[in-house]
Amino acid sequence: MHITDGAVSALDRSTQRERGYRMAKAGAGISISDLCFGYPGGSFELRIPRLSVTGGRRVAIMGPSGCGKTTLVNLISGISVPGAGRIDVGGDAVSLMSDSARRDFRISNIGFIFQEFELIDYLSVEENILLPYLVNDSIALTRTVREAARSLAESVGLSHLLARSVRKLSQGERQRVAVSRALITKPRLLIADEPTANLDAENARTIMELIGEMLEEQHATFLMITHEHGFLEGFDSVIDLPALSAGRRG
């Protein structure tokens, strides 16, 4: 069989994508300086003089409701843009990127776990895990990725449910799907916004143990918004956001 140069190039690109997925990514460091953000017409304002998070660290973000915890992680991930200041994630200036560049950066480098799970009810468990690849063509859905999705499902006890609609899952099972989806891209940064808030104590403990195990394997930086003091033992540091915003911590 004769293979043309074009076919060889296509095979090379496919092989590179497969290898790229298998490669472990270093945790993304975070650097914030002179940050200022406010909503138009509102009185809320978030100011952070300086914040630095070393790549691979596990950091909890705490503070009362309304102090800006979700706003902060939205700024770090590029969902929102600061009015002033600079945000770097993994050495890339997220705050200076265009909308499309931030979107591509986010889907390739950042995984999210939400309080409300944010699953697509009409999709199966497997399709929800693979969702980042189904909605964005900047990352390739390869055979290796599909195998990784099945491996993740097995590691969280969902391998027998891959074809099931997520509508038919328990709360704990739905959050395990959400964790798997957040990790399928091998993110350099994992962000969790109160991931245990809607779970009972047993499922909350299970989810935190699963996240811890996955972080050990993938070496991602971990930011988690939480009110649960019982989970803080597993973190390297805790950010008191009101104190940070007031400039009492750098």
Would you say residue 165 lies in a domain? yes
Q: Please give the average per-residue pLDDT across 226-235, as a whole number.
A: 88
Q: Domain tally for the chain?
A: 1
| Strand duo 237-240 + 58-62: pairing | parallel
pLDDT in tens, 52-81: 999 999 999 999 998 999 999 999 999 999
Among 123, 140, 126, CA closest to 177: 126
pLDDT in tens, 8-48: 444 454 444 444 455 556 789 999 999 999 988 888 899 99
| Strand duo 58-62 + 92-93: pairing | unpaired
* Per-residue CA distances from 146 to 23, 143, 150, 220 (Å): 16, 5, 6, 21
User: 247 pLDDT band (50/70/90 cuts)?
Assistant: low
Would you say residue 168 lies in a domain? yes
Would you say residue 184 lies in a domain? yes
- By residue range, what is the domain housing residue 192? 25-245
* Per-residue CA distances from 44 to 40, 47, 71, 194, 239 (Å): 9, 10, 11, 21, 19
Sheet of 45-53: strands edge to edge? 45-53, 30-38, 84-89, 92-93
